[in-house]
Amino acid sequence: MTIRLGDIAPNFTAPTTEGQIDFHEWKKGKWAVLFSHPRDFTPVCTTELGYTAKLAKEFEKRNVKVAALSVDSVEDHKKWSQDIEDTQGHRPNFPLIGDKEKTVANLYDMIHPNANDTLTVRSLFVIDPNNKVRLTITYPASTGRNFDEILRVIDSLQLTDQHKVATPVNWKHGEDVIIVPALSNDDAKKLFPNGWDEKKPYLRVVKQPGK
């Protein structure tokens, strides 16, 4: 099943290192990052999970829960967690889903047979409090993801949900943003009374709201 932006993230129940979870119940009222990695006891995955654990406070600040998944057992996830702590200095502080039967992997289309017919690729979904999928990314096994970029996208999603703005290339929290083209200048004057820098009629740059 292909999961597209705006779809409702499919629900599932699964065993994890923190006990059985019902996904929608577990994330209730919060954002979630659900990501797969190919295999336990592999080097790139070890660095990804360690770094994600290090970012725990950043995810918490943004009201985001994190869960990781591979087609390994919960027992293996638990054993591997010690290696992650030993080598990365951070032990996973979020549930690792055991998916030996590939139930969740298939539900979320995390196995791409022309890349590898048994292991999950590096899929990642950002899911909002209404369970809508807001970001999907897919990386190959050989390339570790940039989890700072995931935080950056979450910042953009949370800002643009609240204000009639969009975020430009390489934007980071606190930097100038763009007034959405659908907003007329008359309406923009009400929302941005301090004005904006009109580089083109469709490119109106404004301070990040709240900054």
Footprint on this chain of ligand BEZ (rule: CB under 6 A): 38-39, 42-45, 141-142
* CB-nearer residue toward ligand BEZ: 9 or 45: 45
- Bin 170: left if φ > 0, else alpha if -120 < ψ < 50, else beta: left
Q: Which of 14, 32, 45, 150 is catalytic?
A: 45
* CB-nearer residue toward ligand BEZ: 17 or 70: 70
Q: CB of 50: closest distance to ligand BEZ in angstroms?
A: 12
Annotation says 45 is catalytic: yes
* CB-nearer residue toward ligand BEZ: 143 or 184: 143
Question: Residue 132's closest CA among 37, 1, 11?
Answer: 11
Beta strand residue intervals within 39-113, DSSP E: 64-70, 96-98
Beta strand residue intervals within the chain, DSSP E: 13-14, 21-22, 31-36, 64-70, 96-98, 122-127, 133-139, 165-166, 177-179, 197-200, 203-206
Q: Known catalytic residues?
A: 45
